[in-house]
Structure 1
């Protein structure tokens, strides 16, 4: 189990994430305290992936607000928490939660791009705190394998180079998130 933290570059937000990639699956639990459009929120989320970094389960809950559960089969078919098919996001493999740099890790690891390779994809975009899943177009380009990738939000004309660590977790996301150093030993 590994834990990392990011601070928001846009406000007083912070995220604490627990990451476990042992046993052939990936499991993440996280809590985010953030703000969007001047409104503060607290959000907890869980993401489970198979060994190929395909999302099989994701759950999001806003404190005092809404919740969303997604069940994926790794092939682009999704169901909600009640088992209903979600046709609007059919064909998407990855998810992108606006409140965290973690979800950029999913396509970075899953696509396994070679240096200079660029791949446009459709992803399930989930804006916090409203939690409405929509399909959007993004692209990833490998600048340096296992070290740096370029993210393009084609649906909003935004791009950023993302340095990653040995687990593929984003270190810094220019203008949005900055990794915090691990806490030192307490005295």
Structure 2
């Protein structure tokens, strides 16, 4: 799979993403450059995923006026640990992550889970709100509407979006939020 580029439509930002297969896992790297509330930012993230599309770790770095970094690892059984190895109980039962400024993380449950047509699944997600670096546990629903179309629903806010995906399960368009340009 080649690189992917998204353009944000609600604020000035773009993302460049690559997925590199390695011997025992894949590494996803994204670079998001933009501006919110008149403050520029550059965010780089790296997600390590297993062949089953489970997140084993992620690392997010923000450059700019307020540099910040976050690194968490998973035991692949719904338990998360900080950079010092401390268990973070608040995120127990979260297998997938949702990074707010990228549509890529919607791909994780779409690729990891097997869906029947019309099937709706409830997931506990470790949500990372950027550029603020606020973390919370959220409930989200995914429904397979067609081979290349999923309905995303945020169980907490009620937000919904139909997400068309390509043959690799990568989001092509996030209506009103992101448009894939490459």
TM-score class normalised by the smaller sequence: over 0.9
Q: Which residue of 2 is the match for residue 105 of structure 1?
A: 107
1:124-155 per-residue CA deviation (whole Å, 9 max, x = no partner) reads 0000012122100100000113x111100111
Q: Which residue of 1 is the match for residue 25 of structure 2?
A: 25
Helix, strand or coil for the counterpart of 1:63? strand
Q: Which residue of 1 is the match for residue 47 of structure 2?
A: 47
Which sections of structure 1, spanning at least 5 residues, go unmatched?
A: 182-187
Which sections of structure 2, spanning at least 5 residues, go unmatched?
A: none
Residues 34 and 99, structure 1, Cα contact 8 Å, conserved in 2: no
Q: CA RMSD in A?
A: 1.4
1:22–1:144 Cα change, 3 Å: farther
Work out whether 1:180 is the aligned partner of 2:181.
yes
Q: Which residue of 1 is the match for residue 131 of structure 2?
A: 129
| Deviation for aligned residue 1:114 | 1.1
Residues 60 and 131, structure 1, Cα contact 8 Å, conserved in 2: no
Helix, strand or coil for the counterpart of 2:138? strand
Q: Which residue of 2 is the match for residue 70 of structure 1?
A: 72
| Deviation for aligned residue 1:60 | 0.3
Helix, strand or coil for the counterpart of 1:2? coil
Tell me how far apart the structure 2 counterparts of residues 25 and 173 of structure 1 sit (CA, whole Å).
27
Q: Mean Cα displacement is larger for which, 101-110 or 13-22?
A: 13-22
1:114–1:44 Cα change, 3 Å: same
Residues 2 and 20, structure 1, Cα contact 8 Å, conserved in 2: no
Work out the number of aligned pairs and report it.
Answer: 180
TM-score, normalised to structure 2's length?
0.94
1:148–1:2 Cα change, 3 Å: same
